[in-house]
């Protein structure tokens, strides 16, 4: 009993200490950090507006359609007009990415470019550093590549709180969410899932960089890297057009005809007596899907939409939260 009473007293005294600390006035350094987090929040809101334009864009809009391109798409599938449109969009919406890639590559010879005698990892690190520096613009927070590598050398775990939490001046605040008392959808933690380096909304910076490099190669040397064959080829002049037309070689079998007839009958019955209950699917977020834009209702995850994402830089269609 004595030990239990002692433990209870210690817990109570610890809570008093914590409450007391929270009531202490902010130090100059803590006030400065709070102001810096507010500036990051303002800059992030501006960046979110750019990404929302891509997220809300129509699928066939040339200004934003390149967000689903792979690095070799500008070489093999996009013609000159499409590359020009994508380049104009990148220069307009992500001028700092274009500037970094152009400055990095401008002195490369054709031989160096073909041999890829330069580090894409180094270039990617520079872009990510510039991204967080852009978010910290106007503040005293100075983000460096070395700091990002310290968090995660592969750059997978660079969410906003991890990065800007490096600059907390005391144990009073763990990160900007803590300093600004941001919660739920307004928190940096939540916004990282939507607008971070691997966010679900808009175009990923890795895609912006890859497309910029490919377009630079086409504009400068007329060649670009591909994911198969010899690795390099001449850039396409016109957009690729799928001219393949499927022509069935045989008539449906009797079994296939029966299945089609049964489906038509089911559809007619449903039209005459529509179901009053909403049909739900058992798919889960991250599961592979097949029809981009398709939406389903799930019991556990609400509405899911079939969207394009990049998994280890490979384009795939997966179910994502709507």
Q: Is residue 18 part of a domain?
A: no
Q: How confident is the model at residue 181 (pLDDT cuts 50, 70, 90)?
A: very high
In a domain? residue 244: no
Domain count, the chain: 2
Do 183 and 76 have their domain in common? yes
Per-residue tokens: 182: 């941001």
Residue 137's domain comprises: 25-234
19/164: higher pLDDT: 164
Q: State residue 84's pLDDT score.
A: 95
221 shares its domain with 260: no
pLDDT at 47: 97
Percent of the chain beyond pLDDT 70?
Answer: 79
| pLDDT at residue number 11 | 47
Residue 301, sorted as left (phi over 0), alpha (psi -120 to 50) or beta, turns out to be: alpha
> Is residue 170 located within the same domain as residue 263?
no
What are the C-alpha distances in Å from 21 to residues 175, 177, 181, 256?
A: 17, 18, 16, 75
Q: Are residues 171 and 258 in the same domain?
A: no
Same domain assignment for residues 53 and 81: yes
Note whether 259 and 209 are same-domain residues. no
Do 198 and 315 lie in one domain? The reply is: no
pLDDT over threshold 50, residue 19: no
In 3-state terms the chain splits into helix, strand, coil percentages (rounded to 5) of 55, 10, 35
Closest C-alpha among 123, 208, 124, 118 to residue 158: 124
314 pLDDT above the threshold of 70? no
Same domain, 225 and 290: no
Greater pLDDT, 250 or 27: 27
Distance between CA 221 and CA 288 in Å, rounded? 37
Please state, in angstroms and as integers, the Cα–Cα distance from residue 252 to each residue in 3, 123, 160, 257, following that order: 81, 55, 57, 6
Instruction: Give domain status of residue 16, yes or no.
Output: no
Specify whether 138 is located in the same domain as 38. Answer: yes
Contacts for 179 with CB less than 8 Å, ≥ 6 apart:
30, 33, 34, 37, 168, 173
Residue 22 above 70 pLDDT? Answer: no
Q: Is 44 helix (H, G, I), strand (E, B) or coil?
A: helix
What digits encode the pLDDT tens for the residues 82-141?
999 999 999 999 999 999 999 999 989 998 888 876 778 889 999 999 999 999 999 999
Weakest mean pLDDT among 102-106, 211-215, 231-235, 279-283 = 279-283
* Euclidean distance between CA atoms 70 and 49, whole angstroms: 23
Residue-wise pLDDT for 253-268, tens only, equals: 777 677 767 766 765 6
CB 106 within 8 Å of CB 122: no
Distance CA 248, CA 87 (A): 41
Q: How confident is the model at residue 183 (pLDDT cuts 50, 70, 90)?
A: very high
Q: In the prediction, which pLDDT does 230 show?
A: 62
Residue 17, pLDDT > 50, answer no
Residue 315 resides in a domain: yes
pLDDT value, residue 202: 92
Question: Are 195 and 88 contained in the same domain?
Answer: yes
Q: What is the pLDDT of residue 45?
A: 97
Q: What is the largest CA-CA distance in the chain?
A: 88
DSSP assignment of 88-135: HHHHHH-HHHHHHHHHHHTT--HHHHHHT-S-HHHHHHHHHHHHHHHH
Do 227 and 285 reside in the same domain of the chain? Answer: no
Query: Averaged over 24-34, what is the pLDDT?
Result: 93
Name the nearest CA neighbour of 54 among 291, 318, 319, 307: 307
User: Has residue 142 been placed in a domain?
Assistant: yes
- For the stretch 193-210, pLDDT in tens is 999 998 889 999 999 999
> For the residues 143-151, what does the mean pLDDT come to?
95
What's the pLDDT band for 297 if we cut at 50, 70, 90?
A: confident
Long-range contacts of 121-127 (CB under 8 A, 24+ apart): 123/209, 123/213, 124/155, 124/206, 124/209, 125/149, 125/155, 126/100, 127/97, 127/100, 127/101, 127/205, 127/208, 127/209
In a domain, 243, yes or no: no
Which pair of structure tokens corresponds to residue 278?
Answer: 């909403």
Which of 195, 209, 220 shows the shortest CA–CA distance to 86?
209
Sequence-ordered list of residues with C-beta below 8 angstroms from that of 30, at least 6 positions apart, any chain: 169, 170, 172, 173, 179
In a domain, 249, yes or no: no
Whether residue 42 sits in one domain with residue 181: yes
* Residue 9 included in any domain: no
Residue 313: what pLDDT?
Answer: 52
């Amino acid at each position: 009993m004595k030990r239990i009473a002692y433990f209870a007293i210690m817990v109570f005294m610890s809570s008093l200490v914590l409450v007391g600390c929270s009531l202490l006035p902010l130090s100059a350094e803590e006030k400065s950090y709070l102001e810096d987090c507010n500036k990051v929040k303002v800059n992030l809101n501006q960046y979110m507006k750019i990404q929302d334009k891509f997220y809300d864009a129509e699928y066939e809009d040339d200004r934003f359609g390149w967000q689903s391109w792979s690095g070799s798409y500008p070489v093999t599938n996009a013609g000159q007009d499409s590359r020009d449109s994508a380049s104009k969009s990148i220069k307009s919406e992500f001028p700092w990415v274009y500037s970094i890639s152009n400055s990095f590559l401008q002195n490369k010879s054709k031989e160096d470019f073909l041999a890829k005698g330069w580090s894409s990892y180094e270039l990617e690190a520079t872009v990510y550093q510039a991204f967080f520096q852009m978010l910290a613009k106007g503040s005293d927070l100075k983000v460096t590549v070395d700091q990002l590598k310290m968090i995660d050398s592969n750059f997978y775990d660079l969410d906003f709180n991890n990065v800007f939490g490096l600059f907390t001046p005391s144990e009073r605040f763990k990160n900007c969410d803590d300093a600004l008392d941001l919660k739920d959808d307004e928190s940096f933690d939540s916004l990282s899932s939507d607008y971070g380096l691997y966010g679900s909304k808009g175009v990923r910076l890795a895609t912006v960089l890859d497309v910029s490099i490919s377009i630079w190669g086409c504009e400068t040397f007329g060649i670009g890297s591909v994911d198969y064959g010899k690795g390099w080829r001449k850039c396409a002049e016109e957009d690729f057009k799928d001219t393949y037309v499927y022509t069935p070689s045989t008539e449906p079998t009797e079994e296939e005809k029966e299945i089609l007839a049964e489906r038509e009958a089911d559809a007619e019955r449903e039209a005459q007596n529509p179901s009053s209950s909403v049909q739900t699917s058992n798919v889960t977020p991250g599961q592979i899907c097949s029809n981009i834009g398709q939406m389903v209702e799930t019991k556990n995850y609400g509405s899911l939409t079939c969207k394009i994402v990049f998994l280890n830089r490979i384009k795939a269609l997966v179910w994502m939260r709507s």
